[in-house]
Amino acid sequence: MNVHYTARQAALTPEIRAYCEKRLSRLKDLTDDVLDLNVVLGAQKGRAKAEIQVKAKGRSLVVVEESLDMMESLNRAFDVLETRIRKDRAKWREKKRRGGRERRVEAPVAEAPAAEKRVIRANFFSLKPMPVEEALVQLDAKAKEVFLFRREGSQAWAAVYRRKDGHYGLVEPE
């Protein structure tokens, strides 16, 4: 990492340089791909301005903070820079994980404990007797996979279901 210091109408004291080196060591732990880092210090009309420019592989960040004291400006600028780098890394990590999930083919896990089976009630049936054609209309209207109904002319139950090939199936008890 190349660090360049520039002081515009301000003094670059050894304590400011030591403070910057201390804070930059924390940044080195956060990211490894930083190529150049410019620390620009300026003073105008009693205001101290600290600007940090980071150039990394594929991106660059610029943070500018201004206050009455140079150390306070540097402290704020480094805090904002750390926050941005952490946020940027979290976004990159999440983006990488999402992409990995989409491409990965999940294998069935045999050693996972079986979850307790639950019964969930559903009302995909009709109590009134109806012909098969009307049951198919109900199946399409409710956008479900299976529809249970009573056959017209008898009290026997029957079920129509949507097949994977796009056709319909009919199940009747004997």
131 and 82 assigned to the same domain: no
Cα separation of 44 and 172, whole Å?
A: 89
Which residue type does 162 have?
R
**DSSP assignment, residue 104?**
P
**DSSP assignment, residue 165?**
T
pTM: 0.52
**Per-residue pLDDT averaged across 51-56, rounded?**
88
Q: What is the CATH number of the domain that holds 50?
A: 3.30.160.100
What is the pLDDT at residue 113? 67
Q: Could you list the residue range(s) of the whole structural domain that residue 39 is in? A: 2-100
**DSSP assignment, residue 58?**
T
34 and 85 assigned to the same domain: yes
What is the pLDDT at residue 101? 52
| 28 CB-near residues (< 8 Å, 6+ apart) | 1, 34
109-164, pLDDT tens digit by residue?
566 666 787 766 666 667 678 888 888 888 777 777 788 888 887 778 888 888 88
92 and 143 assigned to the same domain: no
**DSSP assignment, residue 148?**
E
Paired tokens of 49: 């301005």
Whether 54 contacts 34, CB under 8 Å: yes
Which residue type does 82 have?
E
Whether 68 contacts 48, CB under 8 Å: yes
3-27, pLDDT tens digit by residue?
889 999 888 889 999 999 888 888 8
Tokens 């999440």 belong to: 94
62-111, pLDDT tens digit by residue?
999 999 999 999 999 999 999 988 888 888 777 766 665 555 556 665 66
75 and 136 assigned to the same domain: no
